């Protein structure tokens, strides 16, 4: 009996150790229920990641669909940690129902699967911006069918504010003034030489940095690592989007700036990685549209615009409206399926004639979509 008892004591710690070994991957979802045009966040936490660069060497994919239906279209998730310990994928339902989802994490040579369910209810959110099928010169809110009367302004450097209460104040102030759209740059930097009393400093700057940098405050040589992403910046941008969404404020996510002296190479893997990351991370916010870049024809050509626009249409599962913003209105991909609405700038006083001329160009393209002059002057700036 003594020998048997001694063996039991030896084996017990081994059995306990085996039972308490943590799972290599833990999947969780943010909530069992959400509203339509909001999203469920499914996270994969990795105990011992093997990818050298989790932004390039691992992938979280998935699909979601009403329970009992065939699997939906494949979607991508994103890495949300610099060490590869956390990945997320987001599902934005458009109809009230019970949904099933399936996700797969590929981490090096390993693959892990997970399935779950959530319920979506109608909480009367207005949803994404769409073209009115009955009157395609106009916009509507998908969730309610109401007409959306475009009244926007430019705030490229909104997330340059260090104090996020200032960002929220700006959104609230504009919403009170019936502004319902803001152009906000996701990437870009510029010389601070607009003439207003705003300067780079500890409270605000014009050095947007979605990538890690050797020196983000160096205008021309920040030395970005385009193979990775600077996550605190993306988290801040998300908080801005969420706050704006609760106020029915559409955010035009501007992917690049003409006066930025540094860009990922046109059409490169680095550029595509950035755009795809923006889509998979921000695309589940219902209150966005995509803008390929401000004054785009000054640093990208028409072939790039068409190819990149078509890629965005392929990568975005939620089909947010997309546009480009060139200096010259003729440089528009008007007939292409990806092109959601015309965006241009003109500071002249002859706005009515300009809009009619733009409509004529659109009719000749054989595809009717809304026409917007979204920049016709800045506050305290006047045309000659």
Tens-place pLDDT, residues 167-210: 999 999 999 999 999 999 999 998 866 555 567 888 999 999 99
The domain that contains 53 carries what CATH number?
Answer: 2.60.40.10
Are residue 168 and residue 229 in the same domain, yes or no? yes
SS3 315: helix
**Strand 58-66 and strand 97-107: pairing?**
antiparallel
Are residue 293 and residue 188 in the same domain, yes or no? yes
pLDDT for residue 352 = 86
Are residue 211 and residue 343 in the same domain, yes or no? yes
Final residue belonging to a domain, choices 65, 88, 121? 121
Q: How many domains does the chain have?
A: 2
Are residue 194 and residue 317 in the same domain, yes or no? yes
Cβ pair 295, 326 in contact under 8 A: yes
Are residue 257 and residue 353 in the same domain, yes or no? yes
pTM for the model stands at: 0.92
pLDDT for residue 52 = 92
Q: What's the domain range around 276?
A: 129-375
pLDDT for residue 80 = 98
Final residue belonging to a domain, choices 94, 121, 148? 121
Are residue 59 and residue 177 in the same domain, yes or no? no
Tens-place pLDDT, residues 148-175: 999 999 999 999 999 999 999 999 999 9
Task: Record the tokens describing residue 38, joined without a space.
Answer: 């909001």
pLDDT for residue 12 = 40
Are residue 266 and residue 133 in the same domain, yes or no? yes
> Which ranges of the chain have pLDDT less than 70?
1-21, 192-198, 379-384
Domain membership of residue 35 (yes or no) is yes
pLDDT for residue 380 = 59
Domain membership of residue 5 (yes or no) is no
Domain membership of residue 237 (yes or no) is yes
Are residue 80 and residue 223 in the same domain, yes or no? no
DSSP string covering 275-315, please?
HHHHHHHHTT-TTEEEEEEETGGGTS-HHHHHHHHHHHHHH
């Amino acid at each position: 009996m003594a020998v048997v008892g001694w063996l039991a004591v030896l084996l017990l710690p081994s059995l306990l150790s085996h039972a308490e070994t943590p799972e290599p991957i833990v999947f969780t979802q943010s909530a069992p229920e959400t509203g339509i045009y909001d999203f469920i966040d499914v996270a994969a936490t990795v105990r011992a990641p093997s990818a050298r660069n989790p932004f390039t060497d691992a992938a979280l994919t998935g699909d979601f669909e009403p329970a009992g239906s065939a699997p939906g279209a494949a979607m991508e998730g994103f890495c949300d940690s610099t060490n590869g310990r956390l990945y997320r994928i987001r599902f934005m339902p458009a109809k009230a129902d019970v949904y099933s989802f399936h996700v797969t994490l590929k981490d090096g040579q390993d693959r892990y699967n997970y399935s779950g369910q959530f319920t979506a209810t109608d909480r009367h959110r207005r949803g994404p911006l769409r073209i009115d099928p009955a009157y395609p010169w106009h916009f509507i809110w998908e969730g309610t069918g109401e007409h959306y009367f475009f009244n926007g302004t430019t705030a490229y450097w909104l997330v340059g504010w260090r104090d996020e209460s200032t960002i929220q104040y700006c959104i609230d102030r504009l919403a009170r003034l019936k502004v319902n759209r803001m152009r906000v740059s996701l990437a870009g930097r510029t010389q601070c030489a607009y003439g207003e009393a705003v300067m780079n400093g500890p409270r605000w700057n014009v050095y947007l940095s979605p990538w890690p940098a050797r020196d983000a405050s160096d205008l021309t040589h920040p030395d970005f690592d385009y193979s990775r992403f600077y996550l605190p910046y993306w988290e801040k941008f998300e908080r801005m989007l969420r706050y704006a969404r609760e106020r029915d404020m559409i955010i035009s996510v501007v992917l690049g700036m003409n006066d930025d002296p540094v860009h990922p190479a046109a059409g490169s893997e680095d550029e595509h990685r950035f755009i795809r990351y923006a889509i998979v991370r921000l695309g589940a916010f219902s209150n966005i549209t995509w803008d390929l870049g401000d004054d785009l024809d000054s640093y990208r050509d028409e072939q790039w615009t068409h190819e990149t626009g078509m890629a965005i249409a392929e990568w975005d599962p939620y089909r947010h409206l997309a546009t480009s913003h060139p200096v010259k209105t003729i440089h528009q991909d008007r007939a292409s399926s990806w092109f959601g609405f015309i965006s241009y700038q003109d500071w002249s006083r002859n706005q009515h004639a300009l809009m009619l001329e733009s409509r004529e160009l659109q009719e000749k393209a054989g595809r009717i979509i809304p026409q917007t002059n979204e920049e016709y002057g800045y506050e305290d700036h006047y045309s000659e």
